[in-house]
């Protein structure tokens, strides 16, 4: 049976289902219990599963991550929430030096099956550290998986797979997409594999790669395109499904990468490098990148000029097609 859900509801359903299925799954974070989270993603879960499994923590991000790592090392499967990506930099020491390295450090004797959830990205006119897209920071760390859903259906399937994964996963939830659309989502188990991209739309003239909130923007941007665009939802930034991207570009001969992170040293540069390494002789144009500028996220009044939009995406695609 399926139900119409937005992304908030789909994530809540994934958490609820996994807590019902597996008593080792626990939630922790700032206001995840009584208040149901800053975006109400965990609403109602403390009533169903109790305060021993849905734990309100102090405002201490490093502590949240450290406790989650300890839980994971002792048989639990914690899902820790950081209220906004801009608050997550305090957890980098724990995630880099412990969560990401534990499997290698112990030669596989210990693993850290935890999920670090956090809203990320601009589009809701919040302040700078509430609107950042710094997924490249986490994707560059060996031992961490970085996952970004683009739709409610994807969110449920990817989160369940992340919770069941034996290693630490950073699960980034695009705030712009939380309540942007509804679609049918299975009430029961629904799994989407990590590390496997999704072809959203097939095409012959250009490959467009994106993830998260960029996917609906890309779809609208190319709706009246003079040409046939293939759209790839990367789903997992790390490990990246390079094969899907490169094979698509070999067929289309052109590539555009779209992300809301700043341009320099962003994920788009890595994707472009892999395209050049794997498909350079098939390219008919340089790889285009449509990104945010290399500035701090502005105050809400300036967000519309900063944010990637349909017009910027369309212009990038047209540049690739004209070359």
Q: What is the pLDDT of residue 286?
A: 98
Tokens of 270: 């890595």
Length of the chain: 323
SS3 of residue 109 by DSSP: coil
SS3 of residue 153 by DSSP: helix
Q: What is the pLDDT of residue 125?
A: 79
CA distances from 24 to 45, 72, 125 (A): 15, 9, 37
Distance CA 263, CA 249 (A): 21
Q: What is the pLDDT of residue 303?
A: 84
Q: Do 150 and 211 contact (CB within 8 A), yes or no?
A: yes
Q: Do 65 and 41 contact (CB within 8 A), yes or no?
A: no
**What is the value of pTM for the model shown?**
0.96
Sign of CA dihedral 84, 87, 92, 95: negative
Q: What is the pLDDT of residue 301?
A: 83
Q: Do 285 and 115 contact (CB within 8 A), yes or no?
A: no
Q: What is the pLDDT of residue 236?
A: 97
Q: What is the pLDDT of residue 81?
A: 98
Distance CA 294, CA 138 (A): 18
Spot the catalytic one: 130, 190, 243, 259: 130
The torsion defined by the Cα of 243, 245, 247 and 250, in degrees rounded to 10, comes to -140
Q: What is the pLDDT of residue 88?
A: 95
Distance CA 210, CA 234 (A): 6
Q: What is the pLDDT of residue 291?
A: 97
- Greatest Cα pair distance, the chain, in angstroms, is 59
Distance CA 219, CA 165 (A): 30
- The b/e string for 165-175 (b: 16+ C-beta within 10 A; e otherwise) is bebbbbbbbbb
Tokens of 178: 């939380």
Which pLDDT tens digits describe the chain residue by residue (323 residues)? 889 999 999 999 999 999 999 999 999 999 999 999 999 999 999 999 999 999 999 999 999 999 999 999 999 999 999 999 999 999 999 999 999 999 999 999 999 999 999 999 987 877 777 888 999 999 999 999 999 999 999 999 999 999 999 999 999 999 999 999 999 999 989 999 999 999 999 999 999 999 999 999 999 999 988 889 999 999 999 999 999 999 999 999 999 999 999 999 999 999 999 999 999 999 999 999 999 999 988 888 888 888 999 999 999 999 999 99
- Which domains does the chain show, CATH number per domain? 2-186 (3.40.50.970), 198-322 (3.40.50.920)
Our measurement of the distance from residue 129's CA atom to the centroid of its chain's CA atoms, rounded to an integer in Å, reads 17
The torsion defined by the Cα of 162, 165, 168 and 171, in degrees rounded to 10, comes to -10
Packing angle of the helix pair 267-279, 242-252 (nearest 10 deg) = 60
Phi then psi for 240, rounded to 5 degrees? Answer: -90, 140
Tokens of 185: 């989502």
Q: Has 130 been annotated as catalytic?
A: yes
CA distances from 48 to 13, 33, 86, 248 (A): 12, 11, 30, 45
Q: What is the pLDDT of residue 126?
A: 78
């Amino acid at each position: 049976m399926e139900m119409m859900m937005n992304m908030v509801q789909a994530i809540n359903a994934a958490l609820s289902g996994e807590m019902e299925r597996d008593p080792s799954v626990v939630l922790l974070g700032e206001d995840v219990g009584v208040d149901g989270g800053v975006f109400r993603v965990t609403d109602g879960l403390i009533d169903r599963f109790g305060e021993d499994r849905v734990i309100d923590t102090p405002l201490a991000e490093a502590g949240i991550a450290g406790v989650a790592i300890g839980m994971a090392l002792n048989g639990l499967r914690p899902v820790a929430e950081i209220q906004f990506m801009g608050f997550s930099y305090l957890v980098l020491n724990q995630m880099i030096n412990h969560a990401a390295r534990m499997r290698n450090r112990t030669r596989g004797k210990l693993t850290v099956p935890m999920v670090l959830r956090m809203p990320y990205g601009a589009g809701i006119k919040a302040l700078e550290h509430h609107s950042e897209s710094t997924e490249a920071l986490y994707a560059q760390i060996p031992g961490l998986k970085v996952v970004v859903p683009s739709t409610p259906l994807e969110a449920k399937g990817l989160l369940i797979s992340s919770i069941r994964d034996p290693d630490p996963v950073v699960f980034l939830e695009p705030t712009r997409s939380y309540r942007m659309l509804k679609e049918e989502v299975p009430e029961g188990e629904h799994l989407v594999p990590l590390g496997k991209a999704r072809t959203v739309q097939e095409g012959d003239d250009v490959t467009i790669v994106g993830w998260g909130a960029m996917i609906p923007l890309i779809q609208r941007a190319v709706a009246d395109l003079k040409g046939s665009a293939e759209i790839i939802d990367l789903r997992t930034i790390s490990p990246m499904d390079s094969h899907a991207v490169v094979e698509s570009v070999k067929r289309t001969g052109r590539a555009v990468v779209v992300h809301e992170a700043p341009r320099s040293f962003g994920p788009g540069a890595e994707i472009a490098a892999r395209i050049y390494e794997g498909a350079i002789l098939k390219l008919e144009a340089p790889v285009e990148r449509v990104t945010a500028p290399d500035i701090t996220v502005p105050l809400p009044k300036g967000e519309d000029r900063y944010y990637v939009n349909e017009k910027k995406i369309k212009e990038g695609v047209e540049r690739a097609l004209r070359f």
